[in-house]
Structure 1
Amino acid sequence: MSPSPRTARHAWWVAFLAGMVSYLDAGAIVTTGTALVIYKEAFGFSPDQYGQLSALLTFSIAIGAVVGGNLGDRFGRRRIFVLTLSLFIVGAGLLVGAQGTEWLYPGIVLLGFAAGADLPVSLAMIAEVARDSNRGKLVSFSHLLWMVGIVAVLGLGTAFGDLGTVGARILYGHLLVVAAIVLVLRLRLPESQAWQQSQTLAVIEPGSRGAGAFRALLTPRYLAALAATALFYSLVNIAANINGQFGAYLYVNVAGVSVSTSSAVSLVTVFVSLVAVFFMMRVVDGRNRLRWFAVMAVVSLVAFLVPALAGVSLATLVVFGVLYAIAGAVAGEPMYKVWSQELFPTAHRATAQGITIAFTRIVAAIVALYTPGLIDAGASIIFYVMAATSAVAFAIGLLWIARLPKATDDDPALRDDDEEDDELAAPAAR
């Protein structure tokens, strides 16, 4: 029986409000990258402090993902993502009103922690309000919002970036206003019915929920899925993170073009990626999903090899940017998000995603420490690194993740034979 139009509209509305954390996550990352440059000049902090603040955002997101994901499984989706947005607003407020370097540390910690804590919970909420026939589409929609967040901040940066600290305050103020509006709208959302059902069916004691979630994920059934998705996401994200953090560096310092040219190309590739995400939304729930994943994996490798083999220039970077924008929307992070909803049960879905998101962000931060040195040693090297890590990720997706069983309701794998384990394990419920 097909769902009513009202039910379908509600699912999309929940997907929008929950998925807006992806907009805020992207906005926080890009805004901080721009605002720190402005605040560094105004407040006079050292290059070491600049590096500390940049790394602090990444690590705060990672810690927030682990904590928020587990709390979302213990106390519900709605309660946690209302709390996380409240923290995000406080962090953004500190950064808007910053009067010195000492304001930036708590502001960035709260901003990153809140965004990280919200991500796994919100993705779980989207998956649980969707149907089997459109779950991938709705989850992929969150990545579309992530891209829109980048476009919005780039546009604001172009318009107000030359205003000094006023421009930085406007950029963070934009995040504060959007977060406040989304928070007000989220207050009207009901709790996930799938999560409520999982609590009704669960045999765990309320005080043991946190331990039960981590313990269940360490069983053979779910440990494989946890390891596979963590490895896929962390490896495929290396290229995405290098492209995002060091794209302008490659254009300006290696290809020898201006910052404005670099920004213009970046905007074009972002819009190409937006179109590609729409394509992902059309094919992700169909029978040809894996074929398209394989095709786009090949396109990604071609994209990396163009500047690796032909040398880094404006032309090869443009070709790389366009091809990677198309392929990454299907064979990259959006596919991780979809697989994560399918491979873990409702009772432990947010916890699992929190762990894999945190692991990925930490790997990205470590790789970023060595990326400038690799680029200086020979710009082509970094594209070989991107190709190698992505190739391993694609192999994991095709040969491992694609063969894993999907999580089902009341999965016996969540229970142990021992009576004590039965009290800590929870049955899966979608």
Structure 2
Amino acid sequence: MASYLDSAALVTSGIAIGGYYAAPLQLAPETIGSLLGLQTLAFAAGALFGGRLGDRFGRRTVFTCSLVLYAAGVLLLLVAASPALLFAGVIATGLAIGADLPVSLALVNEEAPEGRKGTMVVFSSMLWLAGIVAVLLLSSFMGAQGMLGGRVLFAHLLVVAVVVLLLRLTLSESAEWAAARRAADTHPNSPAEKVEFGRIRDLFRAPTGYALLATGLYYATWNLGANTLGQFGTFLWTALAEGEVARYSQLTLLGLPMGFVAGLVFMRVVDRPARQAWFAAGTALIVIAWALPALFGPGEFTLVAVMLVSGLGNAFAGESIYKIWSQELFPTLLRATATGVTMAFTRALAGLAALGTPALALGHTGLFFGLLLGVTVLSAVIGLVWVPRLARTARSEERADAVQRVEPADPSGAPTPDTTEKAVP
């Protein structure tokens, strides 16, 4: 439900602030960009500190506290009658979303059974999509306009947040994190536990440093396009295609059933070797989607095509595959920290881009969509060429470590007698 609440908050902020609240509160395009940009920057700060705290003090504590902050921020946005309360609300929700997501993903991965970890992480991404669906359905069919429309959307977030908070209080701590922390505390100087202890400097040395750089760059370059659609889709639709908010939400809903079906398919293949082929297909769709407005200009057809085609591709690439890589390529006590760092970098970059998005989209439309296409192509190269090499290296090191643990050598250099069970590669 972290994914549901986080995506719903981002999309709700974009629709409510960029659509429903804009006219009644007389929000200029620059103010809209500042509000949504600050929310994204707060997301970055929350992810950076929340991920680290989750590795040091446990998953449960951080994701419980973050949800309390989330509810408070949503309440501010719900009752806001001035830009000042909007600024306070977007900062609070951004910090909460950022802190919540890396530790919640780590808990999902660590509590899932072997052979199903990728499946459960993809399922969390489908709940990210479910949050978007819920908001778009409300926006499309509730019929409310102006301030009331925005308040209804934020009320939905508040109700769900309170219910989820009550359910989270029943959860126990991650068993994998607890075991890793006990081992690190018991043997802090042991070479086998050195990286597992999760010191900050361990994150930036090989091989984790390369994984951090690759996953961070992939997620950041892919997310620039996705974040633009999520936060500014309504703005682009109304300003460049001269469409209505309700119609935009209804058209967006057309592609969501395909996204759910595609997500179910990916859940079945994500823990198998076929994952890479599906990822390549999804990447191609995302590149094609952003090529349409870059080549033919933004209109109703191309903007709808971007939503539908990239939405289908994102089921197999983008956020889904990044979340899997962020769990697979890092040890337990660095996992949430690494995810938080890459999320922070990604959201900081997106937040800075959001500050100028409305002005750039209106004043230099061709350049705007050309830049989005360029960063999408860069993310494709990183994901298809660089990350697979890191994954192969990580698997080779895991096999070597497993063999070394069960077959220690005697002082002469020969293996000890076969008194322990062999490690299976």
Rounded to whole Å, the distance in 1 between the matches of 2:359 and 2:28 is 20
Rounded to whole Å, the distance in 2 between the matches of 1:389 and 1:229 is 14
The DSSP-based 3-state class of the residue aligned with 1:287 is coil
The answer to which of 325-334 and 238-247 deviates more is 238-247
Rounded to whole Å, the distance in 1 between the matches of 2:66 and 2:399 is 29
The residue aligned with 1:31 is 12
The residue aligned with 2:80 is 98
The residue aligned with 2:128 is 146
Q: CA deviation at 1:163?
A: 4.6
Answer yes or no: is the 8 Å Cα contact 1:161–1:168 preserved in 2.
no
Q: Which amino acid aligns with 2:93?
A: L
TM-score by length of 1: 0.82
Count the aligned residue pairs: 391
Q: CA deviation at 1:282?
A: 1.8
The residue aligned with 1:426 is none
Rounded to whole Å, the distance in 1 between the matches of 2:201 and 2:168 is 31
- Equivalent residue runs for 1:48-87 within 5 Å: 48-87=30-69
Q: CA deviation at 1:334?
A: 0.4
- Equivalent residue runs for 1:140-179 within 5 Å: 140-160=122-142, 162-179=144-161
In the alignment, which of 376, 387, 391 is matched to residue 390 of structure 1?
Answer: 376
Q: CA deviation at 1:381?
A: 4.0
Q: CA deviation at 1:49?
A: 4.1
Rounded to whole Å, the distance in 2 between the matches of 1:223 and 1:175 is 37
Residues 242-293 of structure 1, C-alpha deviations (whole Å, 9 max, x = no match): 2333434444444454444433221112332222222221221111111121
Can you give the 5+ residue segments of structure 1 that lack an aligned partner in the other structure?
1-19, 413-430
Aligned sequence identity (%) = 42
Rounded to whole Å, the distance in 2 between the matches of 1:48 and 1:249 is 12
TM-score by length of 2: 0.83
The DSSP-based 3-state class of the residue aligned with 1:176 is helix
Rounded to whole Å, the distance in 2 between the matches of 1:53 and 1:319 is 27
Q: Which amino acid aligns with 2:394?
A: K
Rounded to whole Å, the distance in 1 between the matches of 2:251 and 2:154 is 24
Answer yes or no: is the 8 Å Cα contact 2:37–2:354 preserved in 1.
no
The residue aligned with 1:364 is 350
Rounded to whole Å, the distance in 2 between the matches of 1:104 and 1:303 is 33
Q: CA deviation at 1:57?
A: 1.0
Answer yes or no: is the 8 Å Cα contact 2:64–2:165 preserved in 1.
yes
- Equivalent residue runs for 1:323-342 within 5 Å: 323-342=309-328
RMSD: 2.8
The residue aligned with 2:257 is 271
Q: CA deviation at 1:337?
A: 0.3
Rounded to whole Å, the distance in 2 between the matches of 1:315 and 1:49 is 28
Residues 168-204 of structure 1, C-alpha deviations (whole Å, 9 max, x = no match): 3322221111111111111111111100111111144
Q: Which amino acid aligns with 1:406?
A: A
Answer yes or no: is the 8 Å Cα contact 2:51–2:337 preserved in 1.
yes
Q: Which runs of 4+ in 1 moved over 6 A?
A: 409-412
Residues 91-150 of structure 1, C-alpha deviations (whole Å, 9 max, x = no match): 222333335443333332221111110000000001101133111110011111111111
Larger radius of gyration: 2
Q: CA deviation at 1:86?
A: 1.4
Rounded to whole Å, the distance in 1 between the matches of 2:334 and 2:269 is 27
Residues 186-234 of structure 1, C-alpha deviations (whole Å, 9 max, x = no match): 11111111001111111449xxx99953211011221101000000000
The residue aligned with 1:406 is 394
Q: CA deviation at 1:300?
A: 2.3
Answer yes or no: is the 8 Å Cα contact 1:233–1:333 preserved in 2.
yes
Rounded to whole Å, the distance in 2 between the matches of 1:42 and 1:256 is 19
Question: Is 1:294 the equivalent of 2:280?
Answer: yes
Q: CA deviation at 1:387?
A: 2.7
Q: CA deviation at 1:43?
A: 4.6
